Structure 1
């Protein structure tokens, strides 16, 4: 099983790994576009006003531009430790030890606008590029990634069950055939429901942790739902789509 996570805009700084080597990352067939995007971000960082427009940054986020300028020389850390935020707080990878940590690092992957897809231990620097960023003079990132990324994801899904927890903009970079998809809804006392926005990341992080550390190896959506329920989550299933139901 592969649990495919969304990235986060915020990243832990620094790292103790050597500068990034694109050819050492998983799925080297993605290296040409990865290299092109790194070059474009480094070049774009030389023009801060244009960089802010392209990446949706404010004047106070100069550090993000500096990080992109240093992509080729910056220290690295494993991807699963690089990303921060609500989902990654709930996942809490740092607290895992022993066999649970090993299972998690083998099962977790991250979708990325810069790298396409990363496995947990792929070493990367801090960077800023979102799926909705519009690099000057270039086609949309979804247009550029889809022809390369979808064949990789299709092969991945042919070998293992993929639980796709990415948001819509990242899923648009490359769809996964036959993946298990997850929604989060809140239920009011009268039974009416609404889609959960911000806090869905926390619930998906909890689900990711349960799946990543489970001793069982699910092969379908029903088995994924069983693991989630054992973790105390209320889950409904319709075909390959699961809905986590939380109190409003």
Structure 2
């Protein structure tokens, strides 16, 4: 059984790209296209009113460039999803350092959970955009209401062992029964563990890189833990489908 690693997106995204404009029919998970189109059209329409866009997206007046990105959704150049998203997790993942074989495995195994696209495989070509998982667009119900009815069935049909590294905001858009979850923790002198916040994304990025690049095809939670350990990432199995990544923070 192959493994699929479900990543959170990032607010920050690389500019530009060399791919043609967005074509939903070329994206993975085509069953998500009706919601993708509805949201993309809503964002471009909303961008016609910059003040309303800033308010709806929770942005400051200094972030009007984000509104301009949304205005160009259907015409802007695209780039593969793993090169579009930036920030702490994606810096730690460092897809640009993958050799050819590891990159091919990463393209099969990595999927980004997106407020706009629902799910985007590593090599799906997408434009820069701004939409967070907790945004409420004018005239729409919550994103969870839009995505849950289509995302949960799409994820239920995935044959791979899913490792869910999504943040809470994106995990709320759709449940993934049977997925392996990972909690990044630190331990005090009394042996008590607490969830890490500051370096959470960096550690998840490193774990995603190890799982994506490995030549092994883990089919169990223990198999995932062995890959992590081989990469020098200390993880412990704490439940049937739960792992804890222990850090020195």
Note the C-alpha offset of 1:201. 0.4
Q: Which whole-Å CA distance do the structure 2 matches of 1:183 and 1:172 have between them?
A: 16
Which sections of structure 2, spanning at least 5 residues, go unmatched?
Answer: none
Deviations 1:58-102 (A, max 9, x none): 111111000000000000000011000100000000111221111
Identify the match of residue 32 of structure 1 among 31, 34, 37: 34
Aligned residue runs from structure 1 range 127-146, under 5 A: 127-146=129-148
1:242 counterpart residue number: 243
Note the C-alpha offset of 1:151. 0.4
Deviations 1:83-135 (A, max 9, x none): 00100000000111221111111111100000000111000000000100110
Q: Which whole-Å CA distance do the structure 2 matches of 1:198 and 1:59 have between them?
A: 27
Tell me the SS of whatever aligns to 1:181.
strand
Q: Which whole-Å CA distance do the structure 2 matches of 1:117 and 1:246 have between them?
A: 29
Q: Which whole-Å CA distance do the structure 2 matches of 1:198 and 1:79 have between them?
A: 24
Q: Which whole-Å CA distance do the structure 2 matches of 1:59 and 1:199 have between them?
A: 29
1:154 counterpart residue number: 156
Identify the match of residue 12 of structure 1 among 11, 14, 21: 14
Identify the match of residue 25 of structure 2 among 18, 23, 26: 23
Note the C-alpha offset of 1:232. 1.1
Aligned residue pairs: how many? 246
Note the C-alpha offset of 1:192. 2.6
Deviations 1:149-169 (A, max 9, x none): 10000001xx11011100111
Q: Which whole-Å CA distance do the structure 2 matches of 1:41 and 1:198 have between them?
A: 31
2:178 counterpart residue number: 178
Choose 62-71 or 234-243, whichever is displaced more. Answer: 234-243
Q: Which whole-Å CA distance do the structure 1 matches of 2:230 and 2:54 have between them?
A: 45
Which sections of structure 1, spanning at least 5 residues, go unmatched?
Answer: none
Note the C-alpha offset of 1:175. 1.4
* CA-based RMSD: 0.9
Q: Which whole-Å CA distance do the structure 2 matches of 1:198 and 1:78 have between them?
A: 27
Identify the match of residue 3 of structure 1 among 5, 8, 17: 5
Q: Which whole-Å CA distance do the structure 1 matches of 2:189 and 2:15 have between them?
A: 43
Q: Which whole-Å CA distance do the structure 1 matches of 2:248 and 2:192 have between them?
A: 11
Q: Which whole-Å CA distance do the structure 1 matches of 2:148 and 2:190 have between them?
A: 42
Q: Which whole-Å CA distance do the structure 1 matches of 2:181 and 2:192 have between them?
A: 22
Q: 1:188, 1:247 within 8 Å by CA — same for their partners in 2? A: no
Q: Which whole-Å CA distance do the structure 1 matches of 2:111 and 2:186 have between them?
A: 27
